[in-house]
């Protein structure tokens, strides 16, 4: 793990022009889930995550056979004796934060395909963390930092100087000429982050994002999210209708935890069960969810160069069928009430066409197979399919 003095050289190397196409993406660890990169840099692992202080109410959920429960405690008034239940929940919250930090660190590190750079600044700021009687001074990272999670295996690699350096001494030890590299005066992103060799030069245009189209408010979004999640793991070879019905209580709890009001829980749960049963009974749904022998993918994150910029997408469903066609299918949990279903599905296809055409452009790089696109509507067993560019003037 490099220290502060090495950071400028590391980042200068990242941004140096090596003659090939490159790009740097900056994002949070949460946003990087499901993605992969050739090189991942995690800076400032020594920074502590600010703790939640002065909470007025703490809670902890627990599950037991046949029922769920919750323990809650309020902060005692100032000047009164400590409340043992509140203190217990506070320690539970602290331990949960440590486990979450370790989980996030694991997610971040496993995003790297080739190189992983971890950086931290080792500073002598906490006198309480220094053992002055030892021949060398021992540094301990803040308890709420990601570096603390790595410390059991990295502590032996760090050593503070026996006496702090003066600014003059630090300047004398710095590399001559300075480690920073400036970009040339004529530098431009379009010239240095060029598309791959042989790719057509396309002027970047404003991309149409996936439209926000909400038919039934927040409850409909929660229903759609749950159906999406179930389709991600649904295995029709070992699943029957009874297995779907037996999970009805689970669906109701999930919807309630995610904010569906009590007076809408029953209706929302029924919609989820009906959607999953509909997919199970629908020949098209069974065809989509069957296990394919070649490149059977679900919720597959993919990134690539498209229309002058780098794009990240997630394929809900992708596979190569028996005829050698690569399918890219997106689930849409829109719902249509009344007549004119075919007209509605045609409009939805045009609404999401640009999104699926982008998917097709990226899917072509996975192999030589022809690509076919599909939109599947599990709440009403609707389906539309087309080849990329089909029907476009």
Domain ranges in the chain? 4-49+101-192, 57-92, 217-386
Q: Which has the higher per-residue pLDDT, 152 or 198? A: 152
Helices (H), 179-216: 189-192
> Do 45 and 120 form a contact (C-beta atoms < 8 A)?
yes
Closest CA to 17 of 215, 187, 235: 187
pLDDT band of residue 203 (cuts 50, 70, 90) is very low
Rounded Cα gap, residues 115 and 17, in angstroms: 18
Length of the chain, please? 393
Contact at 8 Å (CB) between 286 and 280? yes
Beta bridge partners of 63: 68
Q: State mean pLDDT over 45-70.
A: 71
d(CA 257, CA 226): 12
Cβ-contact 85, 71 below 8 angstroms: yes
Query: What does the block give as tokens for 374?
Result: 């599909």
At 331-347, the pLDDT tens digits run 887 777 777 888 999 99
φ, ψ for residue 245, nearest 5 deg = -65, -35
Class in CATH terms, 217-386 = alpha beta
Q: Is the dihedral of CA 308, 310, 315, 321 positive or negative?
A: positive
Angle between helices 146-154 and 84-109 (to 10 degrees): 70
Q: Are 339 and 378 in contact (CB under 8 A)?
A: no
Residue 100 CA to residue 110 CA, distance in Å, equals 15
Question: Mind listing the pLDDT tens digit for each residue in 150-193?
Answer: 888 777 666 555 555 555 544 454 444 444 556 666 666 555 44
Assess contact for 273 and 245: CB atoms under 8 A.
yes
- What tens digit of pLDDT does each residue of 81-140 get? 778 888 888 877 777 777 777 888 888 888 888 888 888 877 654 444 444 454 555 677
SS3 state of residue 372 = strand
* Long-range interactions of 121-129: CB distance < 8 A, separation 24+: 121/3, 121/4, 121/44, 121/46, 122/3, 122/4, 122/46, 122/158, 122/160, 123/46, 124/160, 124/164
Least confident of 72-76, 118-122, 204-208: 204-208
pTM of the full structure? 0.47
- Other Cβ atoms less than 10 A from the Cβ of 328: the count is 25
Q: Choose between 42 and 136: higher pLDDT.
A: 42
Q: What's the chain's average pLDDT?
A: 75
* Per-residue confidence (pLDDT) for residue 166, from 0 to 100: 52
Average pLDDT estimate for 22-38: 79
Residue 318's pLDDT is: 92
């Amino acid at each position: 793990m490099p220290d502060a003095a090495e950071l400028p050289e590391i980042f200068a190397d990242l941004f140096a022009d090596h003659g090939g196409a490159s790009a740097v993406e900056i994002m949070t660890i949460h946003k990087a889930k499901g993605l992969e990169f050739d090189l991942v840099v995690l800076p400032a692992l020594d920074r502590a995550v600010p703790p939640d202080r002065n909470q007025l109410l703490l809670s902890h959920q627990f599950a037991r056979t046949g029922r769920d429960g919750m323990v809650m405690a309020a902060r005692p008034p100032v000047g009164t004796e400590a409340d043992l239940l509140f203190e217990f929940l506070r320690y539970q919250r602290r331990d949960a934060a440590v486990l979450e930090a370790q989980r996030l660190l694991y997610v971040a590190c496993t995003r790297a395909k080739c190189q992983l750079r971890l950086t931290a600044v080792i500073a002598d700021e906490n006198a309480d963390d220094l053992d002055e009687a030892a021949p060398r001074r021992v540094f301990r990272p803040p308890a709420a930092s990601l570096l603390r999670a790595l410390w059991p295996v990295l502590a032996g690699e760090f050593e503070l100087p026996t006496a702090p350096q003066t600014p003059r001494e630090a300047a004398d030890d710095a590399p001559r000429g300075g480690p920073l590299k400036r970009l040339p005066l004529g530098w431009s992103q379009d010239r240095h982050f060029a598309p791959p060799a042989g790719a057509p030069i396309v002027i970047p245009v404003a991309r149409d994002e996936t439209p926000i189209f909400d038919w039934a408010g927040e409850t409909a979004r929660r229903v759609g999210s749950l159906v999406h999640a179930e389709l991600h793991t649904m295995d029709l070879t070992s699943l029957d209708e009874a297995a779907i019905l037996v999970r009805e209580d689970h669906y109701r709890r999930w919807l309630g935890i995610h904010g569906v009001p009590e007076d809408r829980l029953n209706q929302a749960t029924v919609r989820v069960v009906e959607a999953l049963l509909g997919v199970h009974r629908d020949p098209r749904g069974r065809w989509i969810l069957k296990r394919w022998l070649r490149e059977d993918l679900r919720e597959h994150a993919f990134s690539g160069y498209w229309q002058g910029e780098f794009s990240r997408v997630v394929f809900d469903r992708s596979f190569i069928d028996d005829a050698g066609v690569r399918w890219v299918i997106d689930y849409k949990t829109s719902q249509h009430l009344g007549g004119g279903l075919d007209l509605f599905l045609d409009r939805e296809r045009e609404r999401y066409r640009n999104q699926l055409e982008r998917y097709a452009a990226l899917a072509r790089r996975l192999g030589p197979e022809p690509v076919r696109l599909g939109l599947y509507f599990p709440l009403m067993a609707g389906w539309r399919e087309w080849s990329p560019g089909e029907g476009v003037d």
